[in-house]
Chain A
Amino acid sequence: MTDASMQSPETGRHAASLTATDARTIKRAKAEKRFRTYGIVAIATGLFFLVVLFASILSQGIPAFQRTVVSVDFTLTEQQREEAESTLFKTKAYSDLFIAALNKELTERGVEVDFDDAAIERLLGKVGGTIRTFYAENPDQLGQPIEFDLAASSRVDGYFKGRVSRDTLQDSRFLQLSDLDLVDALKEAGIIKQGFNWPFITGADSGVDNPGGAGIGASVVGSFFMMMVVLVLSLPIGVAASIYLEEFAPQNKFTDLIEVNISNLAAVPSIVFGILGLAVFIQFMHLPQSAPLVGGLVLTLMTLPTIIISTRASLKAVPPSIRDAALGVGASKMQAVFHHVLPLAAPGILTGTIIGLAQALGETAPLLLIGMVGFVARGYPDGFLAGFTEPNSAMPAQIYTWAARADVGFYEKAWGGIIILLMFLLTMNIIAIILRRRFERRW
């Protein structure tokens, strides 16, 4: 034993001098260096993918915020309007009137390219609805020239954005090569131009033949109402449950079981909540289909465990001395919790809630089964309460629907929708960070 500890300096592990590092230390230093390199590589890989993701989202999504419009003065007479209103397919009648007017205008201006009504129709998107809505809202404008900015067709839009080129275009009933000469001439004349795509921000979904009219606004409102339901239900229920479990509940097998199941619930795939929502809320409780109310209820179930877990964590983080002090001066247990512990835990609770909401905002799977994914183009709700019950979509559901459509114009819109969804998520997460930074206390 003593032999081992008293090895001679020349042969033992303590042989190193203070100035020269021995092999073992070098090895350890190298191991540390390697580990740091691994870390940096891991972070760099993560960053690389983040950059690729953002670059592809931005490069594919930015064009959605631009649109190509046909901008022209148009006059509709009272009589023309009555005639159009008397047909079954009213919007088509309006669109025909507009095409005739445009044709006349182009002839007067002396555009040097051959064109006919059919060619103009191929250049235009579905414009009848826009015109009809305008005159329904402003009947006093009849008989006066109004400057309309109407969406060009998807392929003309693609021509401006570089999606469609003369080399790859094949003549079809959607667009012909000769039409592009007309487009160029109209661009020269300032009739066809590009502008910011406000309808994309404010509009509702549109039919598959009308990518120019599609907007994400209505589904943003749908998401908003869902989040209202989630917030109003899951925050009080979640906080009450965690206060009871953390502060009042006895420690026994039963509460252990509840705790385990809350953790389990947090890991349940979201589609399961969708099935539950269909069975309970729609088929049993007879709540309306496709309604943000039901979507919100389903997402509440999904968000509750997140909120309970984060609330309990932040309640635990409040030092016992606070409780002891409150109880010591004669406060009841409930007073101690609500006057002292809860306010101190509030920043953590709010952070957890916002992160839970952000997670719910991006969820599509549970909405599939309750009718919020599909063609839901009802537009804005008629009032605040109607917002909960009228059919509406949600942002991620809308993006999913667009991505599945045949026209490339919708694919671009899907990427644009992702940008808007990400902006909402980022805003929510930044609010969570600010709240934490501003109100969190450290002991």
Chain B
Amino acid sequence: MSFVKLSASALAIAAVSATAAAARDNVQVAGSSTVLPYASIVAELFGENTDFPTPVVESGGSSAGLKRFCEGVGENTIDVANASRAIREKEIKACAENGVTDIMEVRIGYDGIVFASQQTGPAFNAFEPSDIFNALGAKVLKDGEVVDNPYNTWAEFNPDLPDVEIAGFIPGTKHGTREVFEEKVLLIGCEATGAMQAMIDGGMSEDDAEDACLAVRTDGKSVDIDGDYTETLARIDTNPNGIGVFGLAFYENNTDKLKVGTMSGVAPSTETISTGEYPVSRPLFFYVKKAHIGVIPGLKEYAQFFTADEIAGPSGPLANYGLVADPELAKTQEAINNEVTMGSGS
């Protein structure tokens, strides 16, 4: 009866593999889809240039990555979480509850967030944060009153913008990019248009007003994109009036399809972002589980390699792809060498 033999050998194989699997020899990374391109470049180079195996880098968003990072310590958990925002207090607490206490925070550089539309579409060349807020906010200020967003076209609140239907494609809430979009565009726009002040005058507490400012309209003119930038690009491709939120690197790779708008009069580029002139940028991080250093071969070396001047410096492959190099890279390198963890006073 061959199937008895077959199943016996199957079990044997499974058993052997399970024991062989006891020691993981590659670094396991997950998290932000914004950091993923950089991490994949580094992972490939790390495999090519060292004797360690190529790390595995998964995507899924900053929050999802940090959640998996905080699941515990051990070989069946990930070693590194990529994030396009800093870890939150709540997440540090969740980590601690599961025994993940010593976390090293590594800042790899900065990323710009750009607003781009179809190359051949109407001229969206100049934005202010207030334009984006008026277009996409849930409640806006109109004629001195806070009302549910009544605008249908861009020209209704800013005659300089084209008279076309509003269609914004913004990152979904699981993306770290969303947080930056909210803080550096929506909130600033809310304050600039005076909507926030009007809300506070209307009896809201400051915190509530802030939350109300961050809410986006739900009538279909603002669309949350939970996938990657390629999905946003596909939506822009089919909608000439669509405005999408992209990372600078993604835009630079697709300049034949997209044209970018300036923000507060500054065009996004690695230069304007590193000087701080272009306002919408954010740092990118990865977090390392210190308990895994020395257990997972190559983990510390991966962090060192990632932040080396040759890699993350201004002339390295990451900058060439679109990362804005961190001027304080030397500090980061030193912190990794000394395995400085968060909260241990660095």
Contacts and interface: CB of A to CB of B under 8 A. Distances in A.
A135 interface: no
A210 B310 CA distance: 17
B310 to A, nearest CB: 4
A62 B311 CA distance: 34
B56 A209 contact: no
Given A232-B10, A283-B71, A388-B13, 16 more contacts: A132-B49, A174-B252, A207-B37, A209-B321, A236-B3, A286-B76, A287-B21, A291-B21, A293-B21, A373-B58, A373-B59, A374-B58, A374-B59, A377-B40, A404-B230, A405-B230
Interface stretch (A86-94, A101-109, A184-192): A86-94
Interface string A210-235: 10000000000000000001001101
A277 interface: no
A23 to B, nearest CB: 52
A377 B253 contact: no
A376 B29 CA distance: 10
B26 A239 contact: no
Interface of A: 87-92, 128-129, 132-133, 164, 168-170, 172-174, 206-210, 229, 232-233, 235-237, 239-240, 282-283, 285-291, 293, 297, 338, 371, 373-379, 385-386, 388-389, 391, 403-408
A338 B311 CA distance: 64
Shortest 7 CB-CB contacts between residues of A and residues of B: A374-B58, A207-B44, A406-B253, A375-B40, A89-B310, A236-B3, A375-B57
A287 B310 CA distance: 36
Contacts of B26: 378, 391
Interface in B19-70: 20-21, 24, 26, 28, 30, 33, 36-37, 39-45, 47-49, 53-54, 56-59
Contacts of A377: 40, 43-44, 47, 54
- Please classify the interface of chain B as helix (H, G, I), strand (E, B), loop, or mixed, using the class held by over half of its residues: helix
Contacts, number: 169
A378 B53 contact: yes
B14 A286 contact: no
Contacts of A237: 7
B110 to A, nearest CB: 17
Contacts of B75: 286, 288
10 contacts: A169-B256, A207-B41, A232-B9, A283-B71, A286-B76, A288-B76, A293-B17, A374-B56, A375-B58, A377-B44
A375 B39 contact: yes
Q: Which of B3, B71, B74, B320 has the most CB of A within 10 A?
A: B3
B230 to A, nearest CB: 5
B308 interface: yes
Interface in B112-138: none
B22 to A, nearest CB: 8
